[in-house]
A and B are shown apart, each in its own frame.
Chain A
Amino acid sequence: MNTHDEDRMKKLLQQALTPVEGEPEPSHDLWPTMLRQLDSGPVKAPWYDWALGAGVVVFVAFFPGLVPVLLYYL
């Protein structure tokens, strides 16, 4: 693609998608939503997920030969 083609494609894209005009504003104040997000805090994994993860790590460490079998059935 030469410079001429590139310019033509740019022009076509500009005609297909017009730029966002001015300084758009959200339809409402987003702070209350932000505050709810802050109150809910980060998503925490329950203790049994951690226990399960630790179990898998221990299993793999002791029986590495069974990993392909496990993967086959997953």
Chain B
Amino acid sequence: MQNEASDVLKEFRQGDVDAFETLFRLHQRAVYGWVLRIVRNAPAAEDLTVETFWRIYRAHARFEPAHGFEGWARRIATHAALDWLRTARSEDELPLDIAAVATADPAVAAEIRLKTAQAFERLPPKLRIAAVLAVVEQEPHKNVAEALGISVAAVKLRVFRALRLLRKDLEKQGIRP
């Protein structure tokens, strides 16, 4: 079984489309889930899953089977999602967030939650990714650091900066968090 998986990775590295399909079917769900956690928009996450695998296929010659496929795919997916966040219009990203706002803890006023979600959409994409993965999705900092290709300390700094900017944005709107 282990040898079979290793063969698939080696064949993929040589550009074999069948091996690529095997990897696609094996990992598409994980990639989709990861991207959805970042962009919070299901149709965009589907497009980005295909875009991620397209980038993976084009980079097959640079793939190192010894380092494993999952982490590599996750890193490429994170960068594809980051590119999308940089270009997407904020209203395109809202649907899932609004649904989330509606089902969140009722103890906090709905308006504050909505304004927080909207302020979050205005943060720089690099900070948003770190904050959404580390704070909202509770991903370990190590995983976030690997996906972004930065150190754990840099992840913590980005999360801190995201929270500080978020607080400033809310304060400007007269909300004291």
Contact = CB atoms under 8 A, between A and B. Distances in A.
Interface residues of B, number: 46
Contacts of A12: 108, 112, 116, 177
B12 interface: no
A13 B42 contact: no
B105 A15 contact: yes
A18 B116 CA distance: 12
Given A16-B101, A34-B54, A27 B108 contact: no
B126 interface: no
B137 interface: yes
B33 interface: yes
Main secondary structure of the interface of B (DSSP, over half): helix
Interface string A23-49: 111111011011001100010000000
A12 B115 CA distance: 11
Contact of A20 (B36, B107, B112): B36
B156 to A, nearest CB: 10
Interface of A: 1, 5-6, 8-10, 12-20, 23-28, 30-31, 33-34, 37-38, 42
Interface of B: 17, 21, 24-25, 28-29, 32-33, 36-37, 40, 42, 45-46, 49-50, 53-54, 57-58, 97, 100-101, 103-105, 107-108, 112-114, 116-117, 120, 131-132, 135-138, 160, 163-164, 166-167, 177
27 contacts: A6-B160, A9-B177, A10-B163, A13-B136, A13-B166, A14-B135, A15-B116, A16-B101, A16-B108, A16-B120, A17-B101, A17-B116, A17-B120, A17-B136, A18-B100, A18-B104, A19-B136, A19-B137, A19-B138, A20-B36, A20-B40, A23-B33, A25-B32, A30-B50, A31-B21, A31-B25, A38-B17
